[in-house]
């Protein structure tokens, strides 16, 4: 980011950047350091401040089998939503990229899910997948009990995953299409001249060329699956039945705000933070590598 033309002024830049710095300090750095503090301390009952307990909180959650189940569930959830959403979006983007007549119309509709609030989609999908409702319900009439997310944990998890994946279609589609359209026409044409058919070209030319976008979306989707699932789960299943849709964010909320176990919730937050930072870091490294090769 080397610029040659700068302004120099002892006061003005601070006035300009001050408000943002202040907000970031109060609402980002303070809470994050606070989370660290809580994670290593335990609140005394009946007040009396926090006592330093080193890694006890972490040991406690790591010893908790239920916590590991939540982590595993979150990972499964993240992988499924990411894979499903990206696959659908890529499929659509590839066809839209052919830019046939009328494609613009399809293209604009595919973006819509981006605008929808997770809880709103959650409510809609809850109705669609309700065992007694007029949609899935018809199947239940033929084979009674074949589908019931309110009692069957697997069904419930599948329902939430489908909804989350649907919500991500718009975002992923935008990026895939932009990446595909960046590929020079001449490359596809050269491939066609070499006798490669569309599907072949897709795997041999387009996919490798959009690999950076694929990777970027992979990380963004994983992060979003780990962090953005609260609204969906709270409106669709509230973590149930019997905890079968309880993912990390939901457990943090539940332990922290319902169970009032701030230290436990803080330790869990730290773990989640590390997970997200690790993913971001992988992303960073990748970008760096790409820059080198360019």
Answer left, alpha or beta for residue 145, where phi above 0 means left and psi between -120 and 50 means alpha: left
What number of chain residues touch other proteins (CB under 8 A)? Answer: 104
Interaction of residue 28 with other proteins, rule CB under 8 A: yes
Structural tokens at position 182: 């960046």
Which listed residue (147, 148, 227, 286) binds other proteins by CB under 8 A?
227
112 vs 203 by CB, closer to other proteins: 112
Least Å distance, CB 171 to other proteins, is: 8
Distance of alpha carbon 265 from alpha carbon 33, whole angstroms: 14
Interaction of residue 260 with other proteins, rule CB under 8 A: no
Least Å distance, CB 265 to other proteins, is: 5
Distance of alpha carbon 219 from alpha carbon 224, whole angstroms: 8
Which listed residue (78, 96, 180, 210) binds other proteins by CB under 8 A?
96
Distance of alpha carbon 268 from alpha carbon 56, whole angstroms: 12
Which listed residue (74, 206, 221, 235) binds other proteins by CB under 8 A?
235
Least Å distance, CB 132 to other proteins, is: 7
Distance of alpha carbon 261 from alpha carbon 255, whole angstroms: 6
Interaction of residue 171 with other proteins, rule CB under 8 A: yes
Distance of alpha carbon 173 from alpha carbon 178, whole angstroms: 8
Q: What is the dihedral of CA 222, 226, 228, 231, to 10 degrees?
A: 140
The pattern of x and - marking residues 42 through 81 that bind other proteins according to CB under 8 A reads ----------------------------------------
Which listed residue (280, 285, 289, 290) binds other proteins by CB under 8 A?
280
Distance of alpha carbon 180 from alpha carbon 95, whole angstroms: 10
The enclosing H or E element of 43 equals strand 41-43
148 vs 234 by CB, closer to other proteins: 234
Least Å distance, CB 46 to other proteins, is: 19
Q: Answer whether 147's CB lies under 8 Å from 136's CB.
A: yes
Least Å distance, CB 137 to other proteins, is: 4
Least Å distance, CB 66 to other proteins, is: 19
Structural tokens at position 54: 């080193």
Which listed residue (8, 65, 258, 292) binds other proteins by CB under 8 A?
8
Could you tell me which stretch among 2-10, 41-49, 51-59, 70-78 binds other proteins (CB under 8 A)? Answer: 2-10
The long-range contacts involving 207-210, CB below 8 angstroms and separated by at least 24 positions, are 209/179, 209/183, 210/176, 210/179, 210/180, 210/182, 210/183
Q: What Å distances lie between residue 252 and 6, 58, 158, 273, CA to CA? A: 46, 13, 22, 12
Least Å distance, CB 281 to other proteins, is: 9
68 vs 112 by CB, closer to other proteins: 112
Subset of 106-165 contacting other proteins (CB under 8 A): 106, 108-128, 130, 132-135, 137-138, 141
Least Å distance, CB 83 to other proteins, is: 15
Subset of 185-204 contacting other proteins (CB under 8 A): 188-189, 192, 197-198
């Amino acid at each position: 980011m080397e610029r040659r033309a700068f302004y120099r002024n002892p006061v003005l830049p601070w006035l300009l950047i001050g408000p943002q710095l202040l907000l970031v300090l109060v609402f980002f750095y303070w809470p994050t350091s606070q989370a660290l503090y809580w994670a290593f301390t335990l609140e005394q009952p009946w007040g009396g401040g926090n006592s330093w307990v080193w890694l006890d909180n972490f040991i406690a959650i790591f010893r908790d089998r239920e916590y590991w189940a939540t982590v595993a569930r979150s990972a499964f959830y993240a992988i499924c939503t990411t894979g499903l959403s990206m696959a659908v979006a890529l499929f659509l983007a590839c066809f839209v990229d052919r830019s046939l007549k009328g494609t613009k119309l399809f293209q604009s509709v595919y973006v819509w899910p981006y605008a929808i609030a997770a809880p709103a989609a959650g409510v809609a999908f809850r109705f669609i997948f309700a065992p007694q409702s007029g949609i899935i319900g018809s199947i239940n009439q033929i084979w009674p009990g074949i589908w019931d997310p309110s009692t069957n944990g697997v069904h419930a998890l599948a329902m939430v995953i489908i909804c989350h994946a649907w919500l991500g279609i718009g975002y992923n589609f935008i990026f895939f299409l932009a990446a595909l359209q960046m590929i020079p026409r001449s490359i596809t044409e050269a491939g066609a001249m070499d006798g490669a058919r569309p599907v072949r070209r897709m795997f041999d030319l387009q996919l490798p060329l959009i690999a950076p976008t694929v990777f970027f979306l992979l990380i963004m989707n994983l992060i979003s699956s780990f962090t953005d699932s609260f609204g969906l789960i709270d409106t669709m299943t509230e973590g149930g039945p019997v905890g079968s849709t309880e993912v990390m964010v939901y457990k943090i909320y539940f332990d922290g705000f319902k169970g009032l176990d701030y230290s436990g919730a803080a330790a869990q937050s730290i773990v989640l933070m590390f997970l997200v930072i690790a993913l971001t870091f992988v992303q960073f490294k990748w970008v760096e590598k790409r820059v080198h090769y360019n």
